[in-house]
C-alpha cells in the first residue's frame, strides 16, 4: 500500500486515520525512502534539527507539552500542529513519548567522489541502531563531519538511530552504500590515510596528519579480508584487563581520541 503525505494537521486535538497511517509508514525503511522523509521524536532531537536548519515539514506537539517549549513560538505556525496526548501516543515509536514528533525531509544524496572530506569514519556493516546513533554523537564531539556507511548497514534515518544520535545526525554528512573498492580508490586519489580497527593491533605511535579515515567493523564479524588486506594502517586498543571485545561505539570513541591526541602531540 502506498501512503500519501498528509496535509497540515489543524489544532483539533486529533490525527486523522490517513495521517496516522502515514506517520506509521515512516517507521518502515521502504516508505521512508519512497517519500524521502523520516521521523524525529523528542524535544532535544527536534530542537537540534531546527538549530541545524534541517528541512522539517511538520511538527506535532501535544497540548500538555506545548506551553513548556519556549522555542515553539519562534517556529513557522504553518508547520506546527497541536494534538492531544492520546494522539501523540497513537503514532509514537516510544512507550513513554515526550510529546513531540516531527517529519523531516531527507537530505539530498551527494556524490561521494566529489564531497568526501577527512577526517571521516567508515562503518562496515554496522547493524545496531543504538551503536550508530552513539557513533554519530561521538563524531560530532570530536568535530568529525563525515560518516560513511557500507552496504548492509542500518538505516541512519530509522527512528532508533535518529533518537540515539540526540541531534548529532543533523550536523553530519552521511554517505550510504559505499563499497570498499570505491573507498580505497578515492582515498588513494586524495592521499587520505586509512586506519582500520583490528584486534591486537597497536595504537598510533607517531604524529599523524588530519587527513585520515577510520574504518570500524561490527562486533560480531569485524572487518573482512578485502579491508584488512587493503593498504590500510592497523590500529587497536590495548587490553589491560580481560574480555573478548568492546562495543563498537565505545571503540570508536577511544580510537578517535587516540588519533586526535596523536595529532595534537
CATH number of the CATH domain containing 154: 3.40.1280.10
Is residue 9 predicted with pLDDT exceeding 60? no
At 22, phi and psi to the nearest 5? -65, -45
151 in the same domain as 49:
no
Tell me what pLDDT residue 8 has.
46
Contact 27, 91 (CB under 8 A): no
Residue range 197-219, pLDDT digits in tens: 998 888 876 656 778 999 999 87
Contact 62, 100 (CB under 8 A): yes
Q: What is the mean pLDDT of the chain?
A: 88
Residue 61: Cβ within 10 Å count: 24
78, 105, 132 - which closes a domain: 105
105, 130, 146 - which closes a domain: 105
- Residue 163's alpha-carbon distances to 39, 41, 76, 156, 222, in angstroms, are 9, 7, 23, 10, 25
124 in the same domain as 39:
no
Q: What is the arithmetic mean of pLDDT over 71-87? A: 83
Give the count of domains, the chain.
Answer: 2
Residue 11: Cβ within 10 Å count: 12
100 in the same domain as 119:
no
Could you give the percent of the chain with pLDDT greater than 90? 65
161 in the same domain as 65:
no
Residue range 251-265, pLDDT digits in tens: 999 999 989 876 554
- Alpha-carbon gap, residue 252 to 123, rounded angstroms: 10
Residue 9 lies in a domain: no
200 in the same domain as 69:
no
Q: What is the arithmetic mean of pLDDT over 121-142? A: 96
pLDDT grade for 15, boundaries at 50, 70 and 90: confident
- The more confidently predicted of residues 111 and 71 is 111
Residue 235 lies in a domain: yes
Q: What is the domain range of residue 205?
A: 112-264
| Three-state helix/strand/coil letters over 153-169 | CCCCCCHHHHHHHCCHH
Tell me what pLDDT residue 72 has.
77
Residue 66 lies in a domain: yes
Residue 3 lies in a domain: no
Cell 496516522, residue located: 20
Residue 196 lies in a domain: yes
pLDDT grade for 10, boundaries at 50, 70 and 90: very low
List the Cα angle 172/40/93 in 5-degree steps: 130
- The more confidently predicted of residues 4 and 77 is 77
256 in the same domain as 176:
yes
Residue range 149-188, pLDDT digits in tens: 999 999 999 999 999 999 999 999 999 999 999 999 999 9
In this structure, what CATH number is given to the domain that contains residue 80?
Answer: 3.30.1330.30
Is residue 78 predicted with pLDDT exceeding 90? no
194 in the same domain as 253:
yes
105, 137, 164 - which closes a domain: 105
230 in the same domain as 148:
yes
Strands 37-41 and 100-105: antiparallel
260 in the same domain as 168:
yes
**Cis omega (within 30 of 0) on the bond before 51?**
no
- The more confidently predicted of residues 204 and 235 is 235
120 in the same domain as 100:
no
255 in the same domain as 130:
yes
Tell me what pLDDT residue 190 has.
93
Residue 151 lies in a domain: yes
Residue 156 lies in a domain: yes
Contact 25, 3 (CB under 8 A): yes
128 in the same domain as 72:
no
Residue range 35-67, pLDDT digits in tens: 999 999 999 999 999 999 999 999 999 988 877
Residue 12 lies in a domain: no
Amino acid at each position: 500500500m502506498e501512503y500519501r503525505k498528509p496535509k497540515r494537521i489543524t489544532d483539533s486535538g486529533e490525527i486523522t486515520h490517513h495521517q496516522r497511517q502515514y506517520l506509521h509508514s515512516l517507521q518502515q525503511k521502504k516508505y521512508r525512502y519512497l517519500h524521502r522523509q523520516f521521523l524525529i521524536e523528542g524535544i532535544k532531537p527536534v530542537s537540534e534539527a531546527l538549530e541545524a536548519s534541517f528541512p522539517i515539514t511538520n511538527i506535532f506537539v501535544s497540548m500538555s507539552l506545548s506551553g513548556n517549549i519556549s522555542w515553539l513560538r519562534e517556529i513557522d505556525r504553518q508547520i506546527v500542529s497541536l494534538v492531544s496526548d492520546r494522539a501523540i501516543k497513537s503514532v509514537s515509536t516510544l512507550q513513554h513519548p515526550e510529546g513531540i514528533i516531527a517529519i523531516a525531509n531527507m537530505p539530498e544524496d551527494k556524490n561521494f567522489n566529489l564531497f568526501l572530506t577527512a577526517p571521516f569514519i567508515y562503518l562496515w556493516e554496522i547493524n545496531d541502531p543504538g551503536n550508530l546513533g552513539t557513533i554519530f554523537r561521538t563524531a560530532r564531539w570530536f568535530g568529525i563531519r563525515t560518516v560513511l556507511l557500507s552496504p548492509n548497514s542500518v538505516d541512519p534515518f530509522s527512528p532508533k538511530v535518529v533518537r540515539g544520535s540526540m541531534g548529532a545526525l543533523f550536523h553530519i554528512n552521511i554517505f550510504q552504500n559505499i563499497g570498499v573498492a570505491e573507498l580505497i580508490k578515492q582515498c588513494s586519489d586524495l592521499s587520505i590515510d586509512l586506519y582500520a580497527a583490528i584486534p591486537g593491533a597497536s595504537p598510533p605511535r607517531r604524529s599523524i596528519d588530519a587527513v585520515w579515515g577510520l574504518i570500524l567493523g561490527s562486533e560480531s564479524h569485524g572487518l573482512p579480508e578485502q579491508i584488512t588486506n587493503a593498504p590500510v594502517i592497523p590500529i587497536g586498543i590495548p587490553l589491560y584487563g580481560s574480555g573478548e571485545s568492546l562495543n563498537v561505539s565505545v571503540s570508536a570513541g577511544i580510537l578517535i581520541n587516540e588519533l586526535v591526541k596523536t595529532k595534537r602531540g
